[in-house]
């Protein structure tokens, strides 16, 4: 038994107290204390791995959590502390109860300032704050979770009702209030559009409330150093909301940095790990989960849209992902989301945003394969040895992804049309702007190839809508202007092609024009009588004599059809050949038939 224990537990003491500690550790499902084994024992054993480490999530006060990863110094120190507690006898700890007590230090609160209380003087009147917060929850919060409504209104009541109670540890809450007000100014015009007297204002701006929003944003930014220092759950929410506010202004710069900062603060609080204990209130636990997934998915989305991902997967894997996304969309209940809105449908921005996000995934899956790319030598040499069936499969996969990408782009334009005609396009919505922008870029590539009426109309409508949404900032206007440049280049190409190759009439139109001229210029008196029966061949002895215009005799039934000459002269093939049929004096559109064949209505012969 001793050999087995020393082999699996290491070279440890096997006295009674130590064995009791090992037994208690097993009962508590904790890892038994490990002591470095003797070198000879280590070399002679088959054990070559390391123990499974466990992370630490320690709830503190004010929604602050101390997280320590599996292999951090802190976690290793706590394991040593646990080992000592298990190994030191109880009577030894009773003599000196503070032997394992130490100074805990988690946040550099001494670096904080008193800006939180000073910033309260910049808050607007209460009725203005209530209006902007209501606008935030109505228009900005769609399918993501940023902050709980009841919690926020409770904090607003505290700030306006008892400002003296706000201290340094409330800096995250104050920052959240300011940035929510700033986001509310971005969407305030949508409330104005819903009013009856909204006619006459240019939807592309300028918007005077933008300057108010910038003031609120600057007040929030003044608190960012203290927000980062305190690093609480509210700090994560504040940085996340600042990133949301700057999305339509500078997605690849400020917004990406703030979103990344929110993710890092969330990791510092252990929000990316499942908390195994029960030290959190259920509401706080759910808030942590929702805020984490909002911050993570938003940061990943911006990362992807700014082309900062490393690479794309194989074609077969992408096709499988496309099919999985389609299946997920098809499985969504119509009660949950309105997939095909009608004139009688109640339009909700959350439904439209879900549709746009669904189309964005499809567009980003197929967009890399729209434009031709030059292959590297290694890729060319590797593909040269591939079988023809493999190459055909690759081409088919690309075609599927591109076709689905184009269809998704057209769906985005249709969805934006629905928003424009119902609840209005939100110029501060990065989801709406980025989806419309991505769709227009895809449609432009197709206009260079097909130029169908649906593509042209979608391009025209999309440009008009993105001009409205680009009023939110210079970055958006710059991106929209680039698309306008592409559209003008396509228009010039169309004009050049029209001048060089005029649009040809359809075959049916040319046929109908020929038919009209033929009917208009044919003599009415020589139209065949449908009741006269078959026309008899002319008599051979009438050359130069009188012509009998009486009722022709029917062909004898005994005359075989094979004896008839069926090689009739062909009718004119073009309009210019009518003169050769009716004579030199014929001109299309003339009401009479003049020429050498007819003289005052009498035949020339």
Alpha-carbon span 192 to 167, nearest angstrom: 37
* N-to-C CA span, the chain: 135
pLDDT at res. 82? 72
pLDDT at res. 99? 55
In this model, does residue 118 exceed pLDDT 90?
no
Contact between 186 and 245 under an 8 Å Cβ cutoff? The reply is yes
**DSSP code of residue 77:** H
Please name the residues in contact with 538: beta carbons below 8 A apart, sequence gap of 6 or more. Answer: none
Please name the residues in contact with 363: beta carbons below 8 A apart, sequence gap of 6 or more. Answer: 405, 408, 409, 412, 438, 439, 442
579: exposed, middle or buried (C-beta count within 10 Å: 0-12, 13-18, 19+)? Answer: middle
pLDDT at res. 7? 59
SS3 sequence, 14-58?
A: CCHHHHHHHHHHHHCCCCCCCCCCCHHHHHHCCCCCCCCCCCEEE
Buried b (16+ CB within 10 A) or exposed e, 505-530: eeeeeeeeebeeeeeebeeeeeeeee
In this model, does residue 363 exceed pLDDT 70?
yes
pLDDT at res. 100? 60
pLDDT at res. 260? 94
Alpha-carbon span 247 to 253, nearest angstrom: 9
Which is higher by pLDDT, 362 or 514? 362
Contact between 17 and 89 under an 8 Å Cβ cutoff? The reply is yes
Contact between 208 and 471 under an 8 Å Cβ cutoff? The reply is no
In this model, does residue 278 exceed pLDDT 60?
yes
Cα Dmax for the chain: 151
pLDDT at res. 291? 94
pLDDT at res. 169? 84
Reported as a single tens digit per residue, the pLDDT across 140-161 is: 888 889 999 999 999 999 999 9
Query: Of 245-254, 511-520, 584-593, where does mean pLDDT reach its minimum?
Result: 584-593
In this prediction, residue 585 has a pLDDT band, given cuts at 50, 70 and 90, of low
**Across residues 17-35, what is the average pLDDT?**
59
In this prediction, residue 251 has a pLDDT band, given cuts at 50, 70 and 90, of confident
Alpha-carbon span 90 to 172, nearest angstrom: 43
**DSSP code of residue 595:** B
Reported as a single tens digit per residue, the pLDDT across 305-360 is: 765 555 455 677 888 888 899 999 999 888 888 888 877 788 889 899 999 999 99
In this prediction, residue 470 has a pLDDT band, given cuts at 50, 70 and 90, of confident
Alpha-carbon span 363 to 328, nearest angstrom: 16
pLDDT at res. 543? 46
- The two structure tokens encoding residue 61: 């006060």
In this model, does residue 39 exceed pLDDT 50?
no
Reported as a single tens digit per residue, the pLDDT across 59-90 is: 677 677 767 666 666 667 767 777 777 776 65
205: left (phi over 0), alpha (psi -120 to 50) or beta: left
Please name the residues in contact with 337: beta carbons below 8 A apart, sequence gap of 6 or more. Answer: 351, 354, 355
Kindly list the distances between the CA atom of residue 40 and the CA atoms of 14, 33, 487, in Å, as whole numbers in the listed order: 19, 20, 77
User: What single string gives the DSSP state of each residue in 343-405?
Assistant: TTS---HHHHHHHHHHHHHHHHHHGGGTS--PPPHHHHHHHHTS-HHHHHHHHHHHHHHHHHH
**Across residues 412-424, what is the average pLDDT?**
92
**Across residues 426-441, what is the average pLDDT?**
89
In this prediction, residue 103 has a pLDDT band, given cuts at 50, 70 and 90, of low
- The two structure tokens encoding residue 490: 């396509």
**Across residues 123-136, what is the average pLDDT?**
94
Choose among 217, 213, 177: nearest CA to 472.
Answer: 213
Contact between 588 and 517 under an 8 Å Cβ cutoff? The reply is yes
In this prediction, residue 12 has a pLDDT band, given cuts at 50, 70 and 90, of low
pLDDT at res. 594? 47
- The two structure tokens encoding residue 365: 């899956």
- What backbone phi and psi angles, to 5 degrees, belong to 433? -70, -50
Contact between 418 and 341 under an 8 Å Cβ cutoff? The reply is yes
In this prediction, residue 562 has a pLDDT band, given cuts at 50, 70 and 90, of very low
The separation between CA 160 and the C-alpha centre of its own chain, rounded to angstroms, equals 39
pLDDT at res. 93? 52
In this model, does residue 261 exceed pLDDT 70?
yes
**Across residues 476-505, what is the average pLDDT?**
69
Which is higher by pLDDT, 277 or 411? 411
Coil/strand/helix, residue 59: strand
The separation between CA 181 and the C-alpha centre of its own chain, rounded to angstroms, equals 26
Reported as a single tens digit per residue, the pLDDT across 376-417 is: 444 444 454 455 555 666 677 888 899 999 999 999 999 999
- Please, what is the average pLDDT of the chain? 74
**Across residues 436-450, what is the average pLDDT?**
88
- The two structure tokens encoding residue 459: 């391009």
In this prediction, residue 25 has a pLDDT band, given cuts at 50, 70 and 90, of low
Alpha-carbon span 377 to 395, nearest angstrom: 19
pLDDT at res. 17? 67
- Domain segments of the chain: what residues? 1-50, 110-305, 315-372+393-500, 506-519+573-605
In this model, does residue 106 exceed pLDDT 60?
yes
pLDDT at res. 436? 92
In this model, does residue 517 exceed pLDDT 90?
no
- The two structure tokens encoding residue 333: 């209940």
């Amino acid at each position: 038994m001793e050999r087995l224990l020393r082999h699996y537990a290491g070279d440890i003491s096997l006295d009674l107290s130590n064995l009791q500690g090992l037994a208690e550790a097993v009962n508590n499902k904790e890892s038994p204390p490990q002591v470095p084994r003797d070198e000879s024992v280590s070399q002679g054993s088959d054990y070559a791995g390391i123990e499974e480490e466990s992370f630490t999530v320690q709830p503190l006060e004010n929604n602050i959590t101390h997280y320590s990863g599996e292999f951090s110094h802190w976690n290793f120190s706590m394991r040593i502390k646990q080992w000592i507690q298990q190994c030191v006898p109880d009577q030894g700890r009773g003599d000196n109860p503070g032997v394992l007590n130490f100074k805990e230090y988690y946040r550099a609160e001494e670096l904080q300032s008193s800006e939180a209380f000073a910033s309260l003087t910049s808050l607007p009147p209460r009725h203005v704050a209530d209006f902007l917060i209501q606008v935030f929850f109505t228009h900005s919060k769609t399918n993501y979770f940023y902050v709980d409504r009841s919690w926020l209104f409770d904090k607003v009541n505290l700030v306006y009702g008892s400002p003296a109670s706000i201290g340094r540890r409330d800096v995250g809450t104050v920052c959240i209030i300011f940035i929510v007000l700033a986001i509310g100014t971005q969407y305030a015009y949508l409330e104005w559009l819903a009013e009856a007297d909204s006619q006459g204002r240019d939807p592309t701006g300028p918007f005077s409330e933008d300057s108010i929003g910038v003031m609120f944003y600057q007040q929030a930014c003044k608190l960012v150093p203290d927000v980062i220092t305190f690093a609480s759950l509210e700090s994560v929410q504040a940085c996340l909301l600042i990133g949301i506010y700057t999305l339509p202004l500078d997605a690849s710069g400020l917004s990406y940095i703030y979103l990344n900062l929110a993710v890092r603060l969330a990791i510092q609080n252990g929000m990316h790990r499942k908390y195994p204990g029960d030290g959190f209130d259920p509401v706080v636990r759910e808030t942590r989960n929702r805020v984490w997934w909002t911050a993570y998915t938003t940061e990943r989305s911006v990362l992807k849209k700014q082309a900062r991902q490393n690479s794309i997967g194989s074609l077969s894997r992408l096709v499988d992902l496309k099919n999985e996304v389609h299946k997920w969309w098809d499985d969504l209940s119509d009660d949950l989301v309105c997939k095909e809105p009608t004139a009688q449908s109640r339009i909700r921005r959350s439904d439209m945003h879900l549709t746009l996000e669904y189309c964005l995934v499809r567009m980003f899956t197929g967009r890399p394969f729209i434009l031709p790319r030059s292959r590297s030598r290694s890729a060319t040499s590797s593909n040269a040895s591939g079988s023809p069936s493999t190459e055909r499969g690759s081409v088919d996969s690309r075609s599927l992804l591109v076709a689905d990408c184009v269809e998704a782009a057209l769906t985005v334009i249709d969805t934006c049309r629905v928003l424009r005609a119902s609840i209005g396009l939100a110029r501060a919505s990065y989801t709406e702007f980025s989806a419309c922008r991505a769709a227009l870029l895809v449609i432009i590539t197709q206009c260079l190839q097909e130029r169908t009426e649906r593509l042209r109309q979608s391009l025209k409508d999309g440009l008009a809508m993105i001009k409205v949404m680009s009023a939110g900032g210079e970055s958006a206007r710059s991106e929209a202007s680039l698309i306008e440049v592409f559209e003008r280049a396509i228009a010039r190409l169309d004009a050049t092609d029209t001048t060089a190759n005029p649009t040809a009439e359809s075959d049916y139109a040319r046929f109908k024009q020929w038919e009209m001229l033929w009917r208009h210029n044919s003599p009415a008196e020589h139209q065949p009588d449908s009741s006269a029966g078959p026309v008899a061949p002319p008599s051979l002895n009438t050359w130069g004599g009188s012509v009998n215009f009486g009722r022709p005799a029917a062909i004898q039934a005994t005359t075989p059809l094979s004896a008839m000459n069926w090689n009739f002269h062909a009718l004119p093939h073009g309009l210019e050949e009518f003169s050769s049929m009716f004579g030199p004096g014929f001109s299309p559109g003339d009401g009479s038939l003049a020429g050498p064949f007819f003289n005052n209505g009498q035949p020339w012969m």
